[in-house]
Amino acid sequence: MRIVFVTETWWPSTDGVVTRLTATLRELKKMGHELMVIAPRGGDPVFEGIPVRDVPNISVGFIYGGKPWGMPLPRIGTYIRQFDPDIVHAVNPFVIGWGGVLSAVSQGRPLVASYHTNIARYAEFYHLGFTKPAIWACLRALHNRADLNLATSEAVRQEMIQQGIRNVRVWARGVDLDLYHPSKRSEDWRRRLTDGHPERLIALSVGRLALEKGLERLTALFAANPQLHLAFVGDGPYRKDLEQKFRGTPTTFLGTLHGEELAAAYASADLFVFPSTTDTLGLVLLEAMASGLPIVAAESQPTHELTDQSGAGLLFRADQPETIGQRVKELMHSQRREELARRARREAERWGWRVPTAQLVRWYHELLGAQRGSTA
């Protein structure tokens, strides 16, 4: 097949959406499909042999931390027409997504739209809660033009349906099982994570440092766990505020890491902490589990989906952040940590990237078959 992805987020931004999309592109390329990406300007014109067409972007500092948004210009339709794809896949459509969605519809091409970010929920954290009805109206208008909509968890699928979005299926989770592996553990990285104190128990947090991630809840870790060291991997608009909030605590801010460095950071920690209740999946949870880390996460429907059956982690109530310290204390005993670590890796091994990509390809073929049947 020839497939165009129109994505709201792309390199040099790094988040779960970019991670999932790049992994999907790699798997689709291995399967022999021809691909093109249309994205906001800023990245390279080619990604691992796949052409990337861009559009100018705009950003507003007080909206989502100044994230760049690609403009939905007519050239998007030109790019699509020139590539002549069998399928158009709009990834997290919201701004540039309008260009992709309307172009696919006007050109009569099968359209898939996947929902990855709870933009309406995020608006509350940027003093824009009053815009939530308008945001959902925009999302409904976009997604209901698609032939198929994809959610990253059953909880998110139910929310989309409640908001009036039709034809929604759950796109299975995925993780790179070779890159993220317990064997990447390193004493040098333990020293780096702890500013030279590798003997400490290391709690790791990975992700964008943003207000909506609830990271200040992690200040409650230390009262019950005086021997704990917290390491943040990632960057974002909330970093300076967090550095101030965690001043005087055993906390390290390492900035953004990629590839083997990120994998070594995961594997060299002792447990993974995830205080967010706004994520639609939390891809970093899967990366941590694949690295053999037990999880301590805030309760939400997606985190319940990930941990209830596997027993790979413990959950705490976000409205009682002091309970995270108690949950971590339960993992102080090495045998308990090791038990959950084994469960975490075992669960992650079910979700290599080939699984959700093969699922996606089946859906693409369904749409193409349906289109051929309707025009026969």
Residue 298 CA: distances (Å) to CA of 207, 271, 314: 15, 14, 9
Q: Name which of 60-64, 287-291, 317-321 the model is least confident about.
A: 60-64
Residue 62 has what pLDDT? 46
Task: Report whether pLDDT(375) > 60.
Answer: no
Instruction: Summarize pLDDT for 199-253 with one digit per residue, the tens.
Output: 999 999 999 999 889 999 999 999 999 999 999 999 999 999 999 999 999 999 9
Task: Report whether pLDDT(4) > 90.
Answer: yes
Mean pLDDT, range 355-372, rounded to an integer: 93
Residue 66 has what pLDDT? 58
Residue 306 has what pLDDT? 85
Question: Which tokens go with 217?
Answer: 């809840």
Same domain for 340 and 223: yes
Residue 335 makes CB contacts below 8 A (sequence gap 6+) with none
373: three-class secondary structure by DSSP: helix
CA distance 129 to 140: 18
Same domain for 194 and 112: no
CA distance 266 to 186: 10
Does residue 45 or residue 125 have the better pLDDT?
45
Same domain for 214 and 76: no
Same domain for 362 and 337: no
Taking 3-state DSSP, the helix, strand and coil percentages for the chain, each rounded to the nearest 5, stand at: 45, 20, 35
Angle at 258 between CA 8 and CA 31, to 5 degrees: 65
Instruction: Summarize pLDDT for 107-130 with one digit per residue, the tens.
Output: 999 999 999 987 766 666 555 667
Same domain for 297 and 198: yes
Instruction: Summarize pLDDT for 333-353 with one digit per residue, the tens.
Output: 888 999 999 999 999 999 999
Residue 23 has what pLDDT? 97
Domain count of the chain?
2
Angle at 178 between CA 173 and CA 184, to 5 degrees: 120
Does residue 5 or residue 283 have the better pLDDT?
5
Does residue 333 or residue 103 have the better pLDDT?
103
User: Which phi and psi (to 5°) does residue 316 adopt?
Assistant: -130, 160
Query: Quick check: pTM over 0.85?
Result: yes
Angle at 307 between CA 116 and CA 275, to 5 degrees: 60
Instruction: Summarize pLDDT for 58-72 with one digit per residue, the tens.
Output: 876 545 555 678 999
Same domain for 210 and 343: yes
Give residue 292's domain range.
182-348
What 8-state DSSP symbol labels residue 368? H
Measured over the CA atoms of residue 74, residue 77, residue 79 and residue 82, the dihedral's sign is negative
Same domain for 192 and 146: no
Mean pLDDT, range 129-144, rounded to an integer: 90
CA distance 157 to 114: 11
DSSP β-ladder status, 69-70 and 57-58:
antiparallel
DSSP bridge pairs for 87: 3
Same domain for 79 and 195: no
Same domain for 249 and 145: no
Query: What ranges make up the beta strands (E) of 72-158?
Result: 87-91, 111-115, 148-151
Torsion of CA 86, 91, 96, 102, to 10 degrees: 40
CA distance 85 to 29: 15
Same domain for 234 and 359: no
The three state secondary structure string of 299-320 is CCHHHHHHHCCCCCEEEECCCC
CA distance 44 to 54: 9
Q: What is the CATH number of the domain that holds 132?
A: 3.40.50.2000
Same domain for 370 and 297: no
Query: What ranges make up the beta strands (E) of the chain?
Result: 2-7, 34-40, 46-47, 50-55, 57-58, 69-70, 87-91, 111-115, 148-151, 168-170, 201-206, 228-233, 251-253, 271-274, 295-298, 313-316
Give exposure, 150-171, as e/b (b: 16+ Cβ within 10 Å). Answer: bbbbebbbebbeeeebeebebb
Residue 343 makes CB contacts below 8 A (sequence gap 6+) with 294, 310, 311, 312
